[in-house]
Structure 1
Amino acid sequence: MKPPPEPSAMDALHEAGIHAAVALQAGPPWLEQFWLFLTSHLDPGSIYTICFPLARGLDEHVSMMVLWIALVAEWLNVVLKWFLFGERPYWWIHESGLSSREQLPLHQFPVTCETGPGSPSGHCMILGAALWPIVTTLSTAVSRYTRSRLLRLIPFLAYILLLVAMGLSRIFVLAHFPHQVVTGSLAGMALGWGLQRWPPNFFKCRFFLVTALGLLLGALALHGLATAAGLDLDWSLRRASARCSDPSWLRPETRPWASLCRVSGSALGLALAARHPLSRRAARELRGLEPPLGSAALGLLALDVLHKLPKSEDTALWYLNVGARYTLGPVLVGSLLPQLILTLRRLRAAP
């Protein structure tokens, strides 16, 4: 009888990641609730619905940069996942046979069963990229009041700690291996740094229209070419369906095409916001509200209501609905709601 084959370096890396997840799941119950809260409330969608409107409390340009960097990072993340074929822990332990060789005290959660490939981590990559302009803005603001290098580094230290915590939460819920969260975090930081150095002109409607169309058609072309070449880019959907503990945990918003609808819709929303910007007088008046927390809070509330509206169960209509909501987001936050705030302020100040 032939001896069992030696495990590859990737198998050893995966197995080490499984044991890291075992150690994390053996932690105290309060820590479990923290990991679940973090991975649930700071998913890629929250960048568009929470971080983007809240960043408006710092600066309008910063909020637009958050949205722009997030959509570019998410598109790249989808493409990388398609062609890196990364496994996810919750199905790999069964596909590799490790669960039959070892007694592993692991359990899944409602946020575990993501359906796309696992490498690199989208949570870490998109969060790391999108938060970069916020962190650098905060650091610059601190430097205006102190010369202490340590105090100027506090926003970056908090940023690193948040990415570490996010990575641990993704390992805890069996959504990612440690090397996937590390590569995702590093890619996100590099992307955030690079895109911030070359920001687009947020008043060019045509640029964002071309971007929205290019991102969607580019993804369709890559998927079509890969399929024609014999690559199965939908393999992870079958793995997820077979290995998820509860079929109701297979959420459609975790599919790659849902991410692409979010990305293309947000780019189209930036185009519409650029097509109907605030007047110069309105922009100056809005900047006079220090800090512009009213606009940020109202945008946060409006997007929360918008994304809690029911969606159609028809697949095509569901994707169209997602794209429409993310198209409306930048228009609401960047144009309609600030104009509403200024109108109400002028009516209140009128004799």
Structure 2
Amino acid sequence: MDALHEAGIHAAVALQAGLPWLEKFWIYLTSHFDPKSIFTFYFPVAHGLNTRVGLMVLWTGLVAEWLNVVLKWFLFGERPFWWIHESGLFSQEELKEFPLRQFPVTCETGPGSPSGHCMIPGAALWPIVTALTAKVATCTQSWVLRLIPFLAYTLFLVAMALSRIFVLAHFPHQVVTGVLAGAALGWGLQRCPPNFRNSQFFVVVAAVLLLSALALHGLATAAGIDLDWSLRLASTWCSDPAWLRLDTRPFASLCRVVGSALGLALAARMPLTRREEDDLIDSRLRMTSTGLALVALDILHKLPKATDTASFYRHMVCFYAVGPFLVIIVLPRSVIALRNFLDPPYIPPNNPLLVPAHQGATHNE
């Protein structure tokens, strides 16, 4: 593994020595399209375009994030920003020769393998790629055009992988593993979608994912395996302590997963009526609802959060449970209600409710 790690360090050196304008691009990509964006951006946009695709994006994303946490716990992947110091392969003089820099997005606190930035979008975006490919196939017989969604998906993941190497968050083999695992998981889950109207199923999913992760962590700890080793290394070798964020910890990922599953359960508990679903065929209503969802989720996740760890985790669960319920139920229903208030539906004149009372009366005189 040391050979792979050392090759990864040289790859990061080459990337950081590249074109200066690329630095802003890499940092923007890795900070704005991280795994959280699945829940706050990709899901509401996909849901606005197609309800079922949006639900599959959220479902695939939460399963992928849970699996990513478990894999990271037991693969013990190093991260470049601490490995270069901890490995002992480089003298102080050699370390000074490496012109490597850290950034605010560098100091991830969980283990490094596989890359969550590659694995989770790789899985969650698969339903979108499949839907777009099917849509293009209905419009053209050109195989080149039908490949465009998959090519865009591949280019995005390659760019994400390079950005993670650039900021010293991952080694090349970790991002490759993440991409492959994400694509395989997205393909597999696409073939067996859940019943999104079954609220009990998602409550059970939330409980199983949380309890199983806690049980695995507890059993590993009881067996003498330290699953929190990465927290100490990240704290030791991060250039700026302010860059260490609670939302990069493995248990923060579990809170996103549990909250999102509970949000799906809540939405399934109070579904839209058939008439409301028919109203949302109107593209203007769907676009309005999607725009409001993006604004609402942005505001929701910018609200102040607690600084102590336990309260922070509780807030994470609540925020990520509210998000799907807002996107799937509250905002579409509110947009429809507002439309009906501003522009009441037209009732045909021959409706019996509009016939004057004296016309319908019988003459018994």
Q: TM-score range by the shorter chain?
A: over 0.9
Q: What SS does the corresponding residue of 2:147 show, helix, strand or coil?
A: helix
1:312 deviates by 1.3
Q: How does 1:247-258 map to 2 (within 5 A)?
A: 247-258=241-252
- Which string of whole-angstrom CA distances, capped at 9 and with x for unpartnered residues, describes residues 222-275 of structure 1? 000111111000000000000000000001100000000010000000000000
Tell me how far apart the structure 2 counterparts of residues 139 and 178 of structure 1 sit (CA, whole Å): 29
User: What one-letter code is carried by the residue in structure 2 that aligns with 1:347?
Assistant: F
Query: Are 1:97 and 2:88 an aligned pair?
Result: yes
Tell me how far apart the structure 2 counterparts of residues 58 and 190 of structure 1 sit (CA, whole Å): 24
User: What one-letter code is carried by the residue in structure 2 that aligns with 1:154?
Assistant: I
Tell me how far apart the structure 1 counterparts of residues 285 and 295 of structure 2 sit (CA, whole Å): 18
The aligned counterpart of 2:230 is 236
User: What one-letter code is carried by the residue in structure 1 that aligns with 2:214?
Assistant: L
The aligned counterpart of 2:104 is 110
The aligned counterpart of 2:359 is none
1:57 deviates by 2.7
The aligned counterpart of 2:315 is 321
- Which string of whole-angstrom CA distances, capped at 9 and with x for unpartnered residues, describes residues 24-74 of structure 1? 000111101000000000000011001111112320111111000000000
Query: Does the C-alpha gap of structure 1 residues 291 and 335 become closer, same or farther in structure 2, counting only changes over 3 Å?
Result: closer
User: What one-letter code is carried by the residue in structure 2 that aligns with 1:318?
Assistant: F
TM score, norm. by length of structure 1? 0.96
1:346 deviates by 1.2
1:60 to 51, 54, 69: 51
Q: How does 1:134-213 map to 2 (within 5 A)?
A: 134-213=128-207
Q: What SS does the corresponding residue of 1:274 show, helix, strand or coil?
A: helix
TM score, norm. by length of structure 2? 0.92
Gaps of 5+ in 1: 1-9
Identity of aligned residues (%): 69
1:290 deviates by 6.2
The aligned counterpart of 2:332 is 338
The aligned counterpart of 1:87 is 78
Aligned residues: 342
Tell me how far apart the structure 1 counterparts of residues 223 and 249 of structure 2 sit (CA, whole Å): 22
Q: What SS does the corresponding residue of 1:56 show, helix, strand or coil?
A: helix
User: What one-letter code is carried by the residue in structure 1 that aligns with 2:192?
Assistant: W
Q: What SS does the corresponding residue of 2:304 show, helix, strand or coil?
A: coil
The aligned counterpart of 1:43 is 34
- Which string of whole-angstrom CA distances, capped at 9 and with x for unpartnered residues, describes residues 120-153 of structure 1? 0000000100000011111111112111111011
1:78 to 66, 69, 75: 69
Tell me how far apart the structure 1 counterparts of residues 310 and 285 of structure 2 sit (CA, whole Å): 41
Tell me how far apart the structure 2 counterparts of residues 291 and 185 of structure 1 sit (CA, whole Å): 35
Q: What SS does the corresponding residue of 1:57 show, helix, strand or coil?
A: helix
Higher Cα radius of gyration: 2
Tell me how far apart the structure 1 counterparts of residues 294 and 275 of structure 2 sit (CA, whole Å): 24
Tell me how far apart the structure 2 counterparts of residues 137 and 58 of structure 1 sit (CA, whole Å): 10
| Runs of 4+ with >4 A deviation | none
Query: Does the C-alpha gap of structure 1 residues 132 and 290 become closer, same or farther in structure 2, counting only changes over 3 Å?
Result: farther
Tell me how far apart the structure 1 counterparts of residues 234 and 206 of structure 2 sit (CA, whole Å): 29
1:311 to 294, 305, 318: 305
Gaps of 5+ in 2: 347-365
